[in-house]
């Protein structure tokens, strides 16, 4: 059983937490994602070290999905073991989220957004986690075939049944988000949070989505704010053999690291150094500067990366000249 740091809140920066939209829930400005580095390709000892270190530093939100692993489901199993063995006494200090919406099992009921799939998947996630409820249950992506009323009805049912405290959505465009929010509000389970992909290299949320979230009072948790490691010092000199692009091209391919991209990264790194930040800290601060953004979702393979990322919270303000310089580098 882990004994958490007694200073996990007293030593936390006052800027570490922010209210999620117009809800009563505060989330840490940085949340730890348990994505594809919490399965069989990562040791349980390292996974445990990452989770416990994050909690000791005041990070209370841990983000999962049914298909995270590999193989699918193993991230939830891994986190469930950590909960049982180390954090069971601290459940009420944790925000635990999971999702469903991508392929999970064979047959017509293991994918997309039907009531059948979502509620069955949530039950499976709870068993893997060893929990009676999760704090947030998301629909992971829009389903072009299932009526939105059915999908949102399933999320609302999860909340009413007590198996989830809040409902969330991910990867929805502005119009879909507004419709989903209206349906959930009418069903008495308001949409708490939206999880879009957002970084200096992926600015689609600025084209309407952030405005919808602000208008609807929905929090935003940005995933991939470091562009799968591109917006760190890992690629400043090319592609390291042990990097994601170097050995696991499923999500970040070597051809993504172009000469033009490297030039941008080096220019951004110089700007970060002028601010007294690492490139990762600059990139996280840039995302968090948006008023609609509640928290950014970080991944880590080492505890030192968590500490470096938390350093971004020391300065999330940007002058107009800095924003203009970043836009010029990015060609925005």
pLDDT tens-digit profile of 275-318?
Answer: 999 999 999 999 999 999 999 999 999 999 999 999 999 999 99
**With bands split at pLDDT 50, 70 and 90, how would you rate the model's confidence at 100?**
very high
Q: Judge whether residue 138 has pLDDT over 90.
A: yes
Contact between 196 and 169 (Cβ < 8 Å): no
Q: What is the pLDDT of residues 4-62, one digit of tens each?
A: 999 999 877 778 999 999 999 999 999 999 998 787 767 889 999 999 999 999 999 99
Tokens 């000249």 found at = 321
Indicate the helix (H) or strand (E) that contains 219: strand 219-222
Indicate the CATH number for domain 18-236+286-317. 3.20.20.100
pLDDT tens-digit readout, 80-99: 999 999 999 999 999 999 99
Q: Where are the domains of the chain?
A: 18-236+286-317
Asked whether 190 and 184 are in contact (CB, 8 A), the reply is yes
Q: Give ∠ CA 49-301-123 in degrees, rounded to 5.
A: 70
Can you tell me the mean pLDDT for 104-132?
A: 98
Using alpha carbons, list the distances in angstroms from residue 327 to 19, 254, 261, 332. Answer: 28, 24, 14, 5
DSSP 315: -
Residue 250 has pLDDT above 60, yes or no: no
| pLDDT score of 243 more than 70 | no
CB atoms near residue 319 (< 10 Å):
9
| Average pLDDT over all residues of the chain | 94
| Rounded-to-integer distance, Cα 313 and Cα 308, Å | 10
Q: Is the pLDDT of residue 148 over 80?
A: yes
Strand partners, 293: 220
Q: What's the confidence (pLDDT) of residue 247? A: 46
Average pLDDT over residues 160-174: 98
Interatomic CA distance for residues 66 and 214, integer angstroms:
28
Cα–Cα distance measured from residue 136 to residue 245, given in angstroms and rounded to the nearest whole number: 31
pLDDT of residue 13: 72
pLDDT for 304 equals: 96
pTM for this model (two decimals): 0.94
Q: Which two tokens stand for residue 211?
A: 């405005």
Contact 101, 113 (CB under 8 A): yes
pLDDT band of 111, cuts 50, 70, 90:
very high
Predicted local distance difference test score (pLDDT) of residue 125: 98
Q: Is the pLDDT confidence value at 246 over 50? A: no
Could you tell me if 104 and 110 are in contact, meaning their C-beta atoms sit under 8 angstroms apart?
A: yes
Backbone angles phi, psi at 158, to 5 degrees: -60, -40
Facing residues of 220 across strands?
194, 293
At 221 the three-state DSSP class reads strand
Q: What is the largest CA-CA distance in the chain?
A: 54
Higher-scoring residue by pLDDT: 243, 125: 125
């Amino acid at each position: 059983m882990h004994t958490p740091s007694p200073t996990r809140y007293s030593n936390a920066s006052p800027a570490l937490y922010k209210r999620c939209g117009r809800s009563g829930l505060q989330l840490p400005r940085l949340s730890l994602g348990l994505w594809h580095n919490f399965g069989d390709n990562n040791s349980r000892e390292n996974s445990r070290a990452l989770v416990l270190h994050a909690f000791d530093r005041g990070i209370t939100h841990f983000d999962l999905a049914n298909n995270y692993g590999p193989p699918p489901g193993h991230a939830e199993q891994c986190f469930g073991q950590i909960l049982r063995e180390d954090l069971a006494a601290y459940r009420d200090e944790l925000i635990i989220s999971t999702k469903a919406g991508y392929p999970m099992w064979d047959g017509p009921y293991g994918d997309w957004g039907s009531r059948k799939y979502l509620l069955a998947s949530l039950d499976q996630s709870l068993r893997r986690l060893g929990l009676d409820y999760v704090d947030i249950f998301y629909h992971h992506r829009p389903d072009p075939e299932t009526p939105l009323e059915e999908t949102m009805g399933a999320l609302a049912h999860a909340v009413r049944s007590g198996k989830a405290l809040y409902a969330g959505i991910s990867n929805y465009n502005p119009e879909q988000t507004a419709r989903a929010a209206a349906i959930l509000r009418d069903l008495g389970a308001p949409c708490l949070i939206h999880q879009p992909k957002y970084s200096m290299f992926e600015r689609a949320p600025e084209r309407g989505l952030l405005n919808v979230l602000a208008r609807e009072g929905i929090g935003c948790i940005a995933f991939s704010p470091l562009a799968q490691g591109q917006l760190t010092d890992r690629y400043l000199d090319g592609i390291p053999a042990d990097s994601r692009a170097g050995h696991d091209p499923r999500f970040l391919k070597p051809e993504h690291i172009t000469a033009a991209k490297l030039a941008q990264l080096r220019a951004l790194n110089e700007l970060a150094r002028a601010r007294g930040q690492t490139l990762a800290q600059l990139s996280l601060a840039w995302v968090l500067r948006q008023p609609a953004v509640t928290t950014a979702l970080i991944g880590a393979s080492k505890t030192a990366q968590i500490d470096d990322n938390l350093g971004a919270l020391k300065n999330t303000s940007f002058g107009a000249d800095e924003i203009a310089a970043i836009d010029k580098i990015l060609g925005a």
